[in-house]
Structure 1
Amino acid sequence: MKRAIKLTKHYTPNSLRVVARRVMGNAHNAKLQLTVPVEVRSEFENIFHCTVRKAGSQWVKALFSDPVIYRYSGLLPYDPRPHNWRYPQPLPPGRIVSSLFVSYNGFMNIPKSGRYRTFFILRDPRDLVVSGYFSYRSSHTAMGDVLQVRKVLQEKPFKEGMLHVIEHLANKGTFRSLRAWAKAPNTETVRVCRYEDLTGERQADEVEQLMRHCGIPIPPAELAALLSRYSFSRMRNTQASDPALSHYRKGKPGDWRNHFDDDIYEAFAAATGDLVEVLGYPGYEAPATRDGDS
């Protein structure tokens, strides 16, 4: 049954998935309002989660949709895509909006009312390339340009496929968006976070700081329980019966070293310039032998 549900989700036309997600989102929010008492009302009208693809967006969305977030904020989760939101329309108040795949300037041009907080999650762009390759080739649901890119990748050897993904991400503006957000003015409204910090050894401290930025005062014990519920190992295990359809393939920082060779890195550097240094990640090292496509 679980496999049938996954396959249905994976291959159902995008228009039908949009309707299904809208119905499920509305039902989830109605249940929250009926069953979860709000202990603390947020001082902010909106929280905006901005990012680029393959930077843990599904994990963050799951985290901020949990009932404990509603309990300590009174803000309901909102996915702009199922609701046919179109830039630059305003988004509804009283919501945690996740995820917005927009540039910094694009986000600032969205009309906003009242007080809000924003966080942007970046990731080592080399790992974005690797994650993007496997997602496009095997696991991402058929939406947008996925099928076109998948066809190309399935016809090319691994190295040529990686080079294609680098070019594709450059053309889509992924690397430009990372650079713009990293260089955005440092204000109390916007917090830039690293995916590696939010999922690493200091996860509890990093997520607690993020929650504080968002004005969500979760007690330490409940925050620890929240992070346990949404640990990557647990979320991967729920999809272990069919890894090809999983959003949680690896998520390990530095995985690019297992897949980049000199030619791939040269193409990456040509497409991104000094982006790795701007984002504060370690520079190039001699690549390890690639350990396959897993």
Structure 2
Amino acid sequence: MPFVQLPQTPEGMPLPPFESFLTDPGRRLKAIQDLQTGEKDILLNSYPKSGSHWVHEILSKLLYNEHTQSQVDFEDGFLDFVSDLSTLSSLPSPRLLYTHLPVQYLPQDHVKKGRKIIHIVRDPRDIAVSAYHHFLNVPQFEKFLTRDWDEHLANFMSGNFMYGEWFNNELMYETFAKTNNVMLLIYEEMKMDEEKAVKTIADYLETPCTPAKAAKIASKCSFSQVKERRKSDQFAFLFRKGDVGDWRNRFSAAQEEKFTLLFREKMKNSDLMKRYSKIF
């Protein structure tokens, strides 16, 4: 199914049907690129369904006190989603801003001034499965996206999907990260040792974090804890499993083989090939 109804970037990359993109996608993209950021602001970036909400929870607990944490939701700083970017000025400092857009659409002021950027990478097979279940639960997306798993996976692999091709996005980010102030987080590595992940993020933020604090934050930000806290709000559908390797419950043997060959071909010169060598 071609995404003829979805808004697009000037290059033809499909965008999600958020109100901000449906009305005038070019205007919103330009506004994001032109956004002025503060010296201490942090930009969180990932392909959709890579763990950005989980990492946002960790960041908020590292940076804010309990009172401020209760006032800040991840959607408030979501550049792609908020109805008016001027509302970002009301966020507490340092602001947690995030986007799923590829590198060419990041706020240029933030990039040029060398401010902190955190980028998350996740096994694209798990992303494909997570995205499939996610969008089944968003009624306003129904007319834009297929409900057939095989068609969904084919679209994902070809890049005929919101935010474009995962492979291309990650290759561009890998090049970008070499000359910019970017911290790379691998979702699977974080899940293996969540306390270590918290401490690593704190070190990058230059925020004090004792082992006891890291353990407390890791516990409070575990997927089960976050899912429980959000179960009654409008974004509860975002939190399904968060497991590593859940793709095995959905992929056929033929789909697994085809995806593995595609990954090896697309990422053969990437450092991510080394990071994921044991599972691809």
Is the shorter-chain TM-score for this pair beyond 0.5, marking a shared fold?
yes
Distance 1:173 1:57, change over 3 A: same
Q: Which residue identity is paired with 1:236?
A: K
1:190-227 deviations in Å (ceiling 9; x for gaps) = 111111122x2322112211111112222332222122
2-side partners of 1:60 and 1:261: how far apart? 30
Please provide the CA RMSD for this pair. 4.0
1:119 is paired with a residue of what secondary structure?
A: strand
Instruction: Determine the structure 2 residue equivalent to 1:63.
Output: 58
Equivalent residue pairs, number: 231
Distance 1:44 1:129, change over 3 A: same
Distance 1:241 1:195, change over 3 A: same
Q: Which residue identity is paired with 2:142?
A: L
1:264 is paired with a residue of what secondary structure?
A: helix
Question: Deviation at 1:184?
Answer: 3.1
2-side partners of 1:211 and 1:179: how far apart? 26
Distance 1:187 1:94, change over 3 A: farther
Q: Which residue identity is paired with 1:70?
A: Y
2-side partners of 1:121 and 1:263: how far apart? 28
TM-score (norm 1): 0.63
Distance 1:210 1:58, change over 3 A: same
Question: Deviation at 1:148?
Answer: 2.7
Give yes or no for contact 2:167–2:267 (8 Å, CA) kept in 1: no
Q: Which residue identity is paired with 1:135?
A: H
Say whether residues 1:118 and 2:110 are aligned partners: no
What stretches of structure 2 of length at least 5 have no aligned partner?
1-16, 20-37
2-side partners of 1:149 and 1:176: how far apart? 22
Distance 1:248 1:220, change over 3 A: same
2-side partners of 1:63 and 1:181: how far apart? 22
Question: Deviation at 1:266?
Answer: 5.5
TM-score (norm 2): 0.66
Identity %: 21
Structure of higher CA gyration radius: 1
Question: Deviation at 1:98?
Answer: 3.2
1:114-140 deviations in Å (ceiling 9; x for gaps) = 662111001111111111111122x3x
2-side partners of 1:271 and 1:148: how far apart? 29
Give yes or no for contact 1:120–1:191 (8 Å, CA) kept in 2: yes
Q: How does 1:231-270 map to 2 (within 5 A)?
A: 231-238=222-229, 246-265=237-256, 268=259
Give yes or no for contact 2:227–2:236 (8 Å, CA) kept in 1: no
Q: Which residue identity is paired with 1:53?
A: P
What stretches of structure 1 of length at least 5 have no aligned partner?
1-12, 16-42, 286-294
Distance 1:206 1:71, change over 3 A: same
2-side partners of 1:268 and 1:170: how far apart? 19
